[in-house]
Chain A
Amino acid sequence: DRQTLVAVLQFLRRSNLRESEEILRREARLLGDDLGGSIATVATSSPGVAAVAAVPPGKGEARGDCGVGPSSRREPRKVGTPCAARSLGSSPLSEQLLLAGAFAVGGAVVVEDQPDVSAVLSAYNQQGDPTLYEEYYSGLKHFIECSLDCHRAELSQLFYPLFVHMYLELVYNQHESEAKSFFERFHGDQECYYQDDLRVLSSLTKKEHMKGNETMLDFRTSKFVLRISRDSYQLLKRHLQEKQNNQIWNIVQEHLYIDIFDGMPRSKQQIDAMVGSLAGEAKREANKAKVFFGLLKEPEFDVPLDDEDEEGENEEGKPKKKKPKKDNVGSKSKKQDPNAPPQNRIPLPELKDSDKLDKVMNMKEAARRVRLGPECLPSICFYTFLNAYQGLTAVDITDDSSMIVGGFADSTVRVWSVTPKKLRSVKTAADLSLIDKESDDVLERIMDEKTASELKILYGHSGPVYGTSFSPDRNYLLSCSEDGTVRLWSLQTFTCLVGYKGHNYPVWDTQFSPYGYYFVSGGHDRVARLWATDHYQPLRIFAGHLADVTCTRFHPNSNYIATGSADRTIRLWDVLNGNCVRIFTGHKGPIHSLAFSPNGRFLATGATDGRVLLWDIGHGLMVGELKGHTDTIYALRFSRDGEILASGSMDNTVRLWDAVKAFEDLETDDFTTATGHINLPENSQDLLLGTYMTKSTPVVHLHFTRRNLLLAAGAYSSQ
């Protein structure tokens, strides 16, 4: 802060903006002779500061907006006085300056607006000479390739962030031709999984292009995290510091965060498993917070008598089935699961009578549940949406598998009844006044038989519907769309109740909490929001992703939310205070599906790279990788007791994986928990229990019924 303040003062003095300088100095209470030592940072931060200072008058609000328009840059002096005074007086000044500092120091080395640069700065200039960038990079490349094998894999991680940052610097300083030749020469050396990013980069050739691209701006301002062992790091540091030109060292210090760990350097395979995200890997401290991944205790019921009678008569009841029921319901043990959150950690809605009835039904069904395993695979029932003209964009099925909803690209939401029972809406007010309110079956009488149908269409959105979610009590339906709103529909009147406006950009996914009342939505504005149905504004905003949030899921205990994003990371957020408690990197493409295991301990994620990754939430580690799919995985679901993981993908297949075996033997000794490295066995083939192909229908949704029958849904695409 101090340095940047000094830099601003210096700049103001050069521009003869005496008054502003005095104001600032008075505010910062600095003395004139403190400016001596920080000349080096002056020129570099000055264009950035001029840009930032010039931007606010146009906008009127002092936001830390990194976007710099060419016209404002042209006339820093003219608008300097009024806006500098105004912007300096405003509160987010330090933020702006910080941004300007971070932005400009690493970047704008070549100072074009300041021809009167002193001799001291000329050396700095030379280091930033654009034509030498290629030499620096190839020098580093040469060094890394000549280093020892064990270090080479780790040091190769440097290539990609350095390449991107150097290229962006060249573009930002408007050295277009050098940037182009730099790109041509080195883009082929990067890892294959960065190719999508590089393609986007290749289209950014001018400074103005960077302005609108929020993801690239975030990339420039956030630090790319690398995990390197201490030995490799020492090697690198020694090499970079002994050379005369420290340009790369500057970039490393400015834009990279090197998380050093003590121990063996990692192998290429280990590294490849973990890298791939837009911001590098996750710092180890990011995954150290305590996460309550246990489940909340189920409330006890007075109903078990009925169930036991039922079970006695039940012919298919195997002795094994009695145990799970006893553990879940009415467990007499009072001791709290240490990993479970306290009951009242977050306020949850109370259990209504209808909910209790539902739970009883659930338990009865659970008693008749098929126990799945490698020998006993589930049957799969596929619901194909015909004549959808590739407009099917979202599907959801209720927990008791009675209704299925489809969200379409023509902005309609269609609800079907899966069971023979038709969909009925409540009668109109005129008719309701005619019924006998005292009769026993009043709940049936309020339903209108005349308009009962298998299908109900809900109109209201003005853009394709990208996400749908039923509430656990089957009273409400949520849908989110490209028009930026999330709509709550009543399934009793089949009308829209509320439109939640918060995202002003397409909302990609939404989900109700397992207990109802709360729901989460994630969209193009890179945040996920937590809402409650009775608040028109979000309760929590989860900001931190570098690119769109494409997938949002609640943890079974409703205390945590997992978000998958186009920046190829998965973050786990705490609902109570909005903190990010886990960051999982490793996917090489945007994440499109997430599934929590029923016991709450594990998370499975699927992305466009066709891999399913398994994560241990408690320790924050990757514990498994399932390879097999060849295209984006849009659906993931664990079976009701967590024995089987089903994955559905655009390659028209459903695959079943053995979840019990995948989570079985985890080596969690001190080293792995400390460093987060794990040697993943190549056992995808062993874990694969079956591959089931559809006739050219990509699988969009998977759902295990209460009895462990697998339902799948997709739209027939004819080719």
Chain B
Amino acid sequence: MEAAKMASPKSAPKDAQVMAQILKDMGITEYEPRVINQMLEFAYRYVTTILEDAKIYSSHAKKSSVDADDVRLAIQCRTDQSFTSPPPRDFLLDIARQKNQTPLPLIKPYSGPRLPPDRYCLTAPNYRLKSLQKKVSSTAGRITVPRLSVGAVSSRPSTPTLGTPSAQTVSVSAKVGAPVSLAGQRFTVQIPSSQPAGKSATPTTPTVQNVLINPSLIGPKNILITTNMVPPGAADPSPLKRKHEEDDDYDAL
């Protein structure tokens, strides 16, 4: 840790000086300068939260002003909520005694990598392939507007991030294209290519590019952006049918 240059007494605000003194009293001599700022911010936020809670309690008790009891109650409630402390010793000794009574389980030989049941591992794929066969036959060759659709939220929340893109080409038969899109608990953006309808006889292979999260790295909730290029060669687009298809998509998802 770099040696701290304490703010010179002339320029530092009083609070900062007090905080520096507190750190000194607790025996902390080396710290980065922004520690004081962080401590002050924490102190301010904590005190504000407690006082706000105390105001609520005192008004609930129909008191005219906030008194020490309210503050004490507020502190106690917040402590139970935010600052949990580890379980007490007797509880730990108790569960330790229970756990230590069971004998060590025998090890089965030649069982490959020894991992817990799949439910408890992070090795499962966290995506599911869903075919859109029905939809495609009615939407083939249409010009559709790119749209964002949101799927169901998965049960295990975690911060969604983007992983490394891996291009996958899915070749599809001519007429009845069945582009696979990955649905489920993620954002799917379908950006079909705007191709003039009924143009080329040759089937083009739509490319589905999936931006996949490496399932092993992060939690289960993913953002997948799929670009779905609908193959041409189907009925001519008409505005009515296009609307129908959009509704279809909504229903499907």
Contacts and interface: CB of A to CB of B under 8 A. Distances in A.
B83 A208 contact: no
B116 A536 contact: yes
B214 interface: yes
Interface stretch (B35-43, B68-76, B242-250): B68-76
A526 to B, nearest CB: 6
A203 B27 CA distance: 11
A717 B96 CA distance: 41
Interface size range on B against A: 35 or more
B131 interface: no
Contacts of A350: 107, 109-110
Given A536-B116, A541-B99, 6 more contacts: A208-B75, A349-B114, A526-B89, A540-B96, A543-B89, A546-B89
A525 interface: yes
Nearest to A524: B86
A534 B27 CA distance: 44
Contacts of A524: 86
A392 to B, nearest CB: 13
A498 B115 contact: yes
Contacts of B9: none
Contacts of A70: 72, 76
B93 A544 contact: yes
Contacts of A348: 107
A543 B27 CA distance: 30
Counting chain B CB atoms within 10 Å of each CB, the highest count among A202, A218, A347, A543 belongs to A543
A65 B88 contact: yes
B229 to A, nearest CB: 22
A493 interface: yes
Interface in A316-365: 346-350
A719 B3 contact: yes
Contacts of A222: 89
Interface in A476-528: 488, 490, 493, 495-499, 504-505, 517, 524-527
A538 B99 contact: yes
State the main secondary structure of chain A at its contact with B: loop
A539 B83 CA distance: 28
A323 to B, nearest CB: 34
A355 B116 CA distance: 22
B26 interface: yes
Given A69-B76, A71-B73, A460 B104 contact: no
Interface stretch (B118-126, B170-178, B184-192): B118-126
18 contacts: A70-B72, A199-B27, A208-B72, A214-B85, A214-B86, A217-B88, A217-B89, A218-B89, A221-B89, A497-B123, A517-B107, A524-B86, A525-B87, A533-B114, A535-B116, A539-B105, A540-B99, A541-B99
Contacts of A458: 217
A4 B115 CA distance: 49
A203 B96 contact: no
Interface string A84-128: 000000000001000100000000000000000000000000000
Nearest to B111: A534
Interface in B2-31: 2-3, 25-27
B216 interface: yes
B117 interface: yes
A578 interface: yes
Contacts of B109: 349-350
Nearest to A527: B92
For the complex of A and B, list the 10 residue pairs with the smallest distance between their C-beta atoms, beginning with the closest.
Answer: A578-B100, A495-B216, A536-B120, A543-B96, A525-B86, A543-B92, A534-B114, A541-B96, A536-B116, A64-B90
